[in-house]
A and B are shown apart, each in its own frame.
Chain A
Amino acid sequence: MNIIALKSVDLAIIALYFVAVLAIGFYLKRFATSGQDFFLAGREMTAWVAGLSFLSANLGSLELLGWAGSAYQYGILAAHWYWIGAIPAMVFLGIVMMPFYYISKTHSVPGYLQLRFGNGASGLSAITFAVMTILMSGVNMYAMAVVMKVMLGWNIHFSIWVSSLTVGIYVAAGGLYSAIFNEVLQFFLIWFGALLIPVFGLIETGGWSGMVARIQSNFPGQDFTHLWSTLGNAQDNPMGMHWTGIVFGLGAVLSMGYWTTDFLVVQRVLSAKDIRSAKMAPIIGSFFKMAVPLIVILPGVLGLAVLPEKLVPESALQAGQHSYNEVLPLMLARYMGPGLLGLGVTALVAGFMAGMAGNVSAFATVWTYDIYRPYIRRQAADAHYVSMGRWCTVIGLFISIATAYVAMGFASIMDYVQALFSFFIAPLFGTVLLGMLWKRATGPGGFWGLLAGVGSSVAMFFWVKLNPGALAIIALSDHAKPLAEDMYRALWSCLINVIVTVVVSLATQPKPLSELKGLVMGVTDIPKEQNVPLLHKPAFWAAVSIAILAILQWIFW
């Protein structure tokens, strides 16, 4: 039975959204004529547009449903993925790494690796990114289908095909322009569609202390409302996580890898109109990222307090029960009447579609510029590559539809996604960071380091699958849940990458310094900002962002 039935005003709101995104896509088609337009939105976006798009590309269905589900499962610990697991990395991207991406005029992260390390590391990262992106797109589709099934009773195939075709049409028409415009649109819809849930939840429970009291009554002996105080021992918290996993695995490696090298998000910043905008965009995004737990984590935690039933993992679902991932739709149905319900469902649909659009636009760029152009057809007109980008947008969508069902076998959507990240993203961070900061790193070092990092991550994953006893070695505790395991796997694979890169680089011939100009710290002239007012300086806002992050840790310690 469906959670809710939509009324005509709700259906009108949802239908209007589809009309709006298609109309915007067709409007923008006339502007996406060259490769720079289609793949980088003409490099004319302001810091605010690039920043909101940067954030929204990540604020897809996984964020909304997966993290709300994780908050129900693990409590406020899930907020680590928004705070220490995002803010330092976003600030680091803006202040330290963005100048190199921007000055090198690269079109993508594998494109940067091509300039810095040559074809080996670039090709490997392009292929792994393409695989990961398509799988992620499949996860998005699955998440969307779950919501449509639970909330509306819509046929799973109908949901997948209607939203995929819509995304395919508007991204193929306007390229990154369309993706960015719709991501900004989605940002507003999500906030206006979801903000009432925590507001009403806190009113119902009588505020934060009332919510905590209800959770303690519903789940005696368990702590769901502290960020750090339960992380001293893996057995003391629902995630089975030790603080070292959060600080080093998540904060220092996985989040750095995701926010600074995942081309899905970095592509949005590369569309900025100048280097100051490119530096400001991730910092602007960091402020909104810090606020997202209000509409994602808090509803999940409130679900522990107010929902009359106990939710279960996807793998243990029985008839009449609801899974962790359904907590946000359940909370939506609890508080939202006609009209607001339509807006809430539209926000979720917008999140799904923006997530898919982000994946396919990034896939189209990497496939066209980093695989097709260097390895299949080197010399062709710009129009040919734009045409290829449009075609692989559509083809990428069809492939990702096929992968949607892979996601269904995992207990939590986020477990699946984090496993993928730890395979590809964490090792990549080591390669890009050494490439930007260490002049001595060589092409063979970059390639073999990345290969060793990815290979070791996959090997550790299967080692634990085949021998559960290995969990205590990889994650330092046999109580570790999949998310905790992913953090440590990310940490080890990145360290292996760095060690191999350093050893191989020291044994091979370095590039002349003249070839590293614009790519590596120490041989690149980065524009100074001496005459810029304080309030316009990215470094100032970066400091403010970090200060607010520290205050949040203290409040929710």
Chain B
Amino acid sequence: MQRHLIPVWFFVGLLLAVYGVLIAASGIAELGQPAKTVLAELHAPVWWGALLAVVGGIYCVVFRPRG
């Protein structure tokens, strides 16, 4: 039987991209009133979420299921 296993990297990319969008959106929504955590002024959710979305997006495109 010919196998057409979707690469695990595609699943990784998909999950990271979705997480990145969620985290960045939540960071942007809270820009006005950051969480009461240490170093909250660095707004990590915004840039870390964006990084996740970009890395995830690249993985999704490069390892997308083919024919």
Contact = CB atoms under 8 A, between A and B. Distances in A.
B38 A335 contact: yes
A526 interface: no
Nearest to A4: B37
Given A20-B11, A185-B12, A338-B30, A200 B39 contact: yes
Contacts of A181: 8, 11
B8 A184 contact: yes
A153 to B, nearest CB: 18
Contacts of A12: 22
Interface residues of A, number: 36
B53 to A, nearest CB: 11
Contacts of B39: 200, 203-204, 335
A311 interface: no
A340 B44 contact: yes
Contacts of B49: 339
Interface string A177-202: 00011001100110010001000100
Contacts of A184: 8-9, 12
A444 to B, nearest CB: 44
Interface centre among B8, B26, B34 (most CB of A within 10 A): B8
Interface in A463-497: none
Interface string A327-342: 0000001111111101
B37 A339 contact: no
Contact of B37 (A16, A44, A334): A334
B22 to A, nearest CB: 6
A334 B39 CA distance: 9
A443 to B, nearest CB: 39
Contact of A336 (B15, B22, B24, B37): B37
B34 A337 contact: yes
A343 interface: yes
B61 interface: no
A30 to B, nearest CB: 10
A495 to B, nearest CB: 41
Contacts of B42: 200, 203
A13 interface: yes
Nearest to A192: B52
Interface of B: 3, 5-6, 8-9, 11-12, 14-16, 18-19, 22-27, 30, 34-35, 37-40, 42, 44-45, 48-49, 52
Given A196-B44, A196-B48, A335-B44, 20 more contacts: A9-B22, A9-B25, A13-B19, A16-B15, A20-B11, A27-B6, A180-B8, A184-B12, A188-B15, A189-B15, A204-B38, A204-B39, A337-B34, A338-B45, A339-B27, A340-B44, A340-B48, A342-B23, A343-B19, A343-B23
The 10 closest A-B pairs by CB, nearest first: A337-B35, A339-B23, A339-B26, A9-B26, A339-B45, A184-B8, A181-B8, A337-B37, A188-B12, A200-B39
18 contacts: A9-B23, A12-B22, A13-B23, A16-B18, A20-B11, A20-B15, A27-B6, A44-B5, A184-B8, A185-B15, A196-B48, A203-B42, A337-B35, A339-B26, A339-B49, A340-B44, A340-B48, A343-B23
Interface of A: 7, 9, 12-13, 16-17, 20, 24, 27, 31, 42, 44, 49, 180-181, 184-185, 188-189, 192, 196, 200, 203-204, 306, 333-340, 342-343, 346
